[in-house]
A and B are shown apart, each in its own frame.
Chain A
Amino acid sequence: MNTDPAHGRNPAAARSTPGQPPSATRPRRFAELVLTGLAADPDELLGDLAEGAAGVAAARGARAARSWWWGQAARATPRLVWHGLRRRPGAVLAGVGVFIAFVVLSDLIPVPFGTNTQAYHGDSPVPPTTNRVLWDTAVTGLAMLALGALAGAATAALARRARLVPVVLLAVLLGLTYSRYAFYIVYGPARLVHSDGGTHWELELGTWSNDVVVPVLWQLPTMGLLLPLATMLGGLAVVSLRRRRQTERAGGA
């Protein structure tokens, strides 16, 4: 290894200030916020990561320290989620409770501009225009994303510590449940009946009988990925807000 003879260590290490943790970049601050939301005692975990990274920086340089920090953070994340789910039954209850409320409310509350309002009757089948499909899907999709973010925020607010743990559970459940809309929009309970030379034949797509389904592949990222992401962002917003208030209180004390 190329070492600096004056210090007997890597020249890259000489550029970092010994004994100080490397400065945090924006992605790293975001990762710290995630870890803050997952750990019951985030100061202890983040402090260990900062101290460990400072040690690596002094020995092997800033680049190795960054790599070490990210590696440790990535390894800690699933462990913290699993630890939280196993040790905090209240968090599991909060996640499942908000999920059930979300599903029930989203079925009960009619969406005035949603795709469900378009009945597609067999007697007079009028296919919706492409623009209408795209508009309805976009508006409904955005409404679902906003609801997902609200649900995530509410779940994080319900938890006392490790606020993101129940939000992760909620995001996974929502992603699994609503990813069926990744492939289909259900146009109300009806059957598509095609008239062909006086003979009628029925077309059923999908597993829901009497439903006419239209595949809309662009919703795959919307519901399969963006809905869990929106849920997590809602939870992270609460974590960030609480963290800021804590810091302000500590600063004022």
Chain B
Amino acid sequence: MFYKIEDMRALGGLELDVLLAVAGNDGEAHGLLVRAAVSEARGREISVGATYTTLTRLEAKGLLASRTTDPLPVRGGRSRKEYRLTAAAHEALAAERDRAARRWAGVPGPGAEPGWGQA
């Protein structure tokens, strides 16, 4: 019930960044890879806990699907979850792109003549 209500909201900033990071490595994106990509995009380190909770939330919202790999020695014998975008996530990203395009449509680019303050 919680997630149905949340689905109606727009994506949060971190959620959007995580979805974009997964989109860049679709099917092979895992927690540490997503963390590195989001940290690079944001210009500051985000924590493992933040990545984990955001991925969990997005999966519960139905925006991510995951598969579990075989256990890996580097993870202390634990397996790894690899994420891919769902159809709903593709739609959500397209909607976010349209929203961003609409927001930037009225903003003049650099070097444009100012439309006010001229005698």
Contact segment of A43-51, A142-150, A169-177: A43-51
Number of A-B contacts (CB under 8 A): 79
Q: Which listed residue (A43, A76, A80, A83) contacts B79, Cβ 8 A?
A: A43
Closest-CB distance, B54 to chain A (whole angstroms): 9
Q: Which chain B residues border A46 with CB–CB below 8 Å?
A: 76, 78
* Bound complex: CA A43 to CA B81 (Å): 9
The interface bits of chain B over 30-55 (1 if a CB of A lies within 8 angstroms of the residue's CB, else 0) are 11100100000000000111111100
Contact indicator A79/B74 (Cβ below 8 Å): no
**At the interface, yes or no: B4 with Cβ under 8 Å from chain A?**
no
**At the interface, yes or no: A166 with Cβ under 8 Å from chain B?**
no
Contact indicator B56/A48 (Cβ below 8 Å): no
Contact indicator B32/A76 (Cβ below 8 Å): no
Q: Which listed residue (A54, A80, A89) contacts B49, Cβ 8 A?
A: A80
Q: Which listed residue (A21, A45, A72, A76) contacts B74, Cβ 8 A?
A: A21
Contact indicator B32/A48 (Cβ below 8 Å): yes
**At the interface, yes or no: A26 with Cβ under 8 Å from chain B?**
no
**At the interface, yes or no: A39 with Cβ under 8 Å from chain B?**
yes
Given known A21-B74, A83-B57, contact A45–B80 (CB-CB < 8 A): no
Given known A50-B75, A76-B49, contact A41–B57 (CB-CB < 8 A): no
**Size category, A interface:** 20 to 34
**At the interface, yes or no: B106 with Cβ under 8 Å from chain A?**
no
Contact indicator A87/B60 (Cβ below 8 Å): yes
**At the interface, yes or no: A106 with Cβ under 8 Å from chain B?**
no
Contact indicator A54/B47 (Cβ below 8 Å): no
**At the interface, yes or no: B104 with Cβ under 8 Å from chain A?**
no
**At the interface, yes or no: A122 with Cβ under 8 Å from chain B?**
no
Contact indicator B79/A45 (Cβ below 8 Å): no
**At the interface, yes or no: A195 with Cβ under 8 Å from chain B?**
no
Closest-CB distance, A134 to chain B (whole angstroms): 44
Shortest Cβ distance from A23 into B: residue: B76
Q: Which listed residue (B2, B49, B78) contacts A47, Cβ 8 A?
A: B78
Shortest Cβ distance from A39 into B: residue: B52
Shortest Cβ distance from B80 into A: residue: A47
Shortest Cβ distance from A76 into B: residue: B49
Given known A21-B74, A43-B78, A44-B81, contact A49–B53 (CB-CB < 8 A): no
Pull 24 A–B residue pairs with CB atoms less than 8 Å apart, ordered by A. Answer: A20-B74, A43-B78, A44-B81, A45-B31, A45-B48, A45-B49, A47-B72, A47-B75, A47-B78, A48-B51, A48-B52, A49-B48, A50-B74, A50-B75, A55-B32, A75-B48, A75-B49, A75-B50, A76-B49, A79-B47, A79-B50, A83-B53, A83-B56, A87-B2
A48-B52, A87-B60 are known contacts; what are 17 more A-B pairs with Cβ within 8 Å?
A: A19-B74, A39-B52, A41-B56, A43-B78, A48-B30, A48-B31, A48-B48, A50-B78, A55-B32, A72-B48, A75-B47, A75-B50, A76-B52, A79-B47, A79-B53, A80-B49, A87-B2
Interface residues of B (CB under 8 A from A): 2, 30-32, 35, 47-53, 56-57, 60, 72-76, 78-81
